[in-house]
């Protein structure tokens, strides 16, 4: 095997894409900063039990594991940053009020999400801790939409749901955790045959509500239909009311954002406790770009359970959906190590933020990644910038 081959679904990022990724990273972090979110940089490697706290089986299967040669304990390479940020909020910051935190860094997955997916996503996310109200849910949704607009995406769609809907439907049923998990999986896959089998022993009203859930997707009409067809009492009404409130606020903020609902969608939301959302965009067939919601129990294992809401996305997916910005114009300069005036002029231009590419001897006709539209030429004993000759 050639030494330069990389593992499947792992790839180098070459200059043009790296430049685009870095532009996106800066835009997204700046969008978060404008909302008051502070940057944190958790480690890539942690004790396994810390990484997998409250996250469910799906994340455990996605996590690479190894043995620490110093302690003998099992370590994990993070597959998601949210548990780490919860640990930071609980034990390092330990603030009593609201904490707004954001992050951007690589995560590693044992399996790629698709045939052309990567096992090393570059995850950007934002989390707000300390506020239990739906205002925090709205804020992270606003931030996610603003961040995607800053990246250059338009025509976005927000798909909303709430795990409390299913919880309300199943309330009072004596189901084991394994049975609840099986119901969630059948709902997420919209596997009505399996769902009917699982629901068969349950009371008639519960069975009817469960079988109705996979049909409750679409526009604003879904919510009144759900109120009529589902059982759940005050808990169900509270969840549906929160969803309708979010729909109305999003419509006020941006009428171009399409809001839809899928009350049976529980994919990947093992630790969510309330509203969840997915944002779709891109030309042609829209793709899921970001996902998030409320996860109030994520910090419980760290001894400090706090209300929490947030979202995350993969910059490597996002970079494929938005056009790269034009190359920043650069200045070409000759290479003369013994010309103090030239060296001083190049240093001054770089200090002003210009890109100055010095052409090494013998490489005058090579093409590089920079778009040089000007050059440094000597005129009357001084080095000046002038347009590059065609």
Q: Give dist(CA 269, CA 64) in Å, integer.
A: 20
Q: Which CATH superfamily is domain 154-280 in?
A: Bira Bifunctional Protein; Domain 2 (3.30.930.10)
Which pLDDT does position 309 carry in this prediction? 96
Q: What percent of the chain has pLDDT over 70?
A: 97
Most confident of 208-217, 259-268, 292-301, 358-367: 208-217
Q: Mean pLDDT, to the nearest integer, of 110-124?
A: 90
Q: Give dist(CA 376, CA 380) in Å, integer.
A: 13
List the binding residues for L-histidine. 80-82, 123, 127, 267, 271-272
Q: Mean pLDDT, to the nearest integer, of 155-160?
A: 94
- The chain-wide mean pLDDT, for the chain, equals 90
Which pLDDT does position 304 carry in this prediction? 78
- Higher local confidence (pLDDT), 285 or 246: 246
Tokens 């109200």, residue located: 133
Q: Mean pLDDT, to the nearest integer, of 145-169?
A: 92
List the binding residues. 80-82, 123, 127, 267, 271-272
Q: For 21-30, 75-84, 138-147, 301-310, which range has the lowest pLDDT when averaged over its residues?
A: 301-310
- Higher local confidence (pLDDT), 285 or 241: 241
For the chain, the domains span 1-153+282-325, 154-280, 330-387
pLDDT digits (tens, 9 = 90+) for 216-241: 999 999 999 999 999 888 999 999 99
**Contact call for residues 274 and 137 (beta carbons, < 8 A):** yes
- Binned at pLDDT 50, 70 and 90, residue 55 comes out as low
Q: Mean pLDDT, to the nearest integer, of 333-345?
A: 91
Do domains 1-153+282-325 and 154-280 share one topology? The answer is yes
| Phi, psi (rounded to 5 degrees) for 156 | -80, 150
- Higher local confidence (pLDDT), 373 or 303: 373
- Residue-level length of the chain: 390
- Binned at pLDDT 50, 70 and 90, residue 285 comes out as confident
* pLDDT value at 214 more than 70: yes
pLDDT digits (tens, 9 = 90+) for 78-92: 999 998 999 999 888
**Contact call for residues 91 and 299 (beta carbons, < 8 A):** no
pLDDT digits (tens, 9 = 90+) for 239-281: 999 999 999 999 998 888 999 999 998 875 567 889 999 999 9
- Binned at pLDDT 50, 70 and 90, residue 389 comes out as confident
* pLDDT value at 54 more than 80: no
Cα torsion angle, 349, 352, 354, 356, sign: positive
* pLDDT value at 102 more than 80: yes
Q: Mean pLDDT, to the nearest integer, of 207-212?
A: 93
Tokens 């590419």, residue located: 357
| Three-state SS letters, the chain | CCCCCCCCCCCCCCHHHHHHHHHHHHHHHHHHHHCCCEECCCCCEEEHHHHCCCCCHHHHHHCEEEECCCCCCEEEECCCCHHHHHHHHHHHHCCCCCEEEEEEEECCCCCCCCCCCCCCCEEEEEEEECCCCHHHHHHHHHHHHHHHHHCCCCCCEEEEEEHHHHHHHHCCCCCCHHHHHHHHHHHHHCCHHHHHHHHCCCCHHHHHHHHHHHHCEECCCHHHHHHHHCCCHHHHHHHHHHHHHHHHHHHHHCCCCEEEEECCCCCCCCCCCCEEEEEEECCCCCEEEEEEEECCCCCHHHCCCCCEEEEEEEHHHHCCCCCCCCCCEEEEEECCCCCHHHHHHHHHHHHCCCCEEEECCCCCCCCCCCEEEEEEEEECCEEEEEECCC
Q: Mean pLDDT, to the nearest integer, of 165-189?
A: 89
Cα torsion angle, 292, 304, 91, 36, sign: positive
* pLDDT value at 53 more than 80: no
Which pLDDT does position 164 carry in this prediction? 92
Q: Which CATH superfamily is domain 1-153+282-325 in?
A: Bira Bifunctional Protein; Domain 2 (3.30.930.10)
Q: Give dist(CA 118, CA 113) in Å, integer.
A: 7
């Amino acid at each position: 095997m050639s030494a330069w081959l990389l593992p499947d679904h792992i790839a180098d990022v070459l200059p043009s894409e790296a430049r685009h990724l870095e532009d996106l990273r800066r835009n997204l972090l700046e969008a978060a900063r404008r909302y008051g979110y502070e940057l944190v940089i958790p480690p890539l490697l942690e004790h396994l039990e810390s990484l997998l706290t409250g996250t469910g089986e799906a994340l455990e299967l996605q996590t690479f594991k190894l043995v620490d040669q110093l302690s003998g304990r099992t370590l994990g390479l993070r597959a998601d940053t949210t548990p780490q940020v919860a640990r930071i909020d609980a034990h390092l910051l330990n603030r009593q009020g609201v904490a707004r935190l954001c992050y951007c860094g690589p995560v590693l997955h044992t399996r790629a999400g698709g045939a052309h997916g990567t096992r090393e996503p570059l995850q950007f996310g934002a989390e707000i801790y300390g506020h239990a109200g739906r205002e925090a849910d709205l804020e992270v949704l606003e931030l996610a939409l603003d961040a995607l607009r800053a990246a250059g995406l338009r025509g976005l769609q927000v798909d909303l749901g709430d795990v409390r809907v299913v919880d309300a439907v199943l309330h009072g049923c004596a189901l084991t955790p394994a049975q609840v998990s099986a119901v969630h999986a059948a709902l997420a896959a919209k596997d009505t045959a399996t769902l009917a089998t699982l629901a068969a022993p349950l009371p008639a009203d519960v069975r009817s509500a469960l079988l109705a859930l996979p049909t409750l997707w679409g526009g604003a009409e879904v919510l009144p239909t759900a109120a009529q067809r589902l059982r759940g009492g005050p808990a169900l009404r509270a969840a549906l009311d929160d969803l309708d409130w979010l729909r109305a606020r999003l419509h006020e903020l941006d009428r171009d954002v399409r809001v839809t609902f899928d009350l049976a969608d529980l994919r990947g939301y093992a630790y969510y406790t309330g509203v969840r959302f997915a944002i779709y965009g891109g030309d042609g067939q829209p793709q899921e770009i970001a996902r998030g919601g409320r996860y109030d129990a994520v910090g419980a294992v760290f001894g400090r359970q706090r209300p929490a809401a947030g979202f995350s996305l993969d910059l490597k997916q996002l970079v494929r959906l938005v056009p790269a910005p034009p190359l920043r114009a650069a200045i070409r300069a000759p290479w003369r190590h013994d010309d103090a005036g030239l060296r001083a002029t190049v240093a001054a231009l770089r200090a002003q933020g210009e890109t100055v590419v010095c052409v090494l001897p013998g490489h005058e006709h090579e093409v590089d990644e920079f778009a040089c539209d000007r050059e440094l030429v000597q005129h009357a004993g001084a080095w000046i910038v002038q347009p590059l000759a065609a």
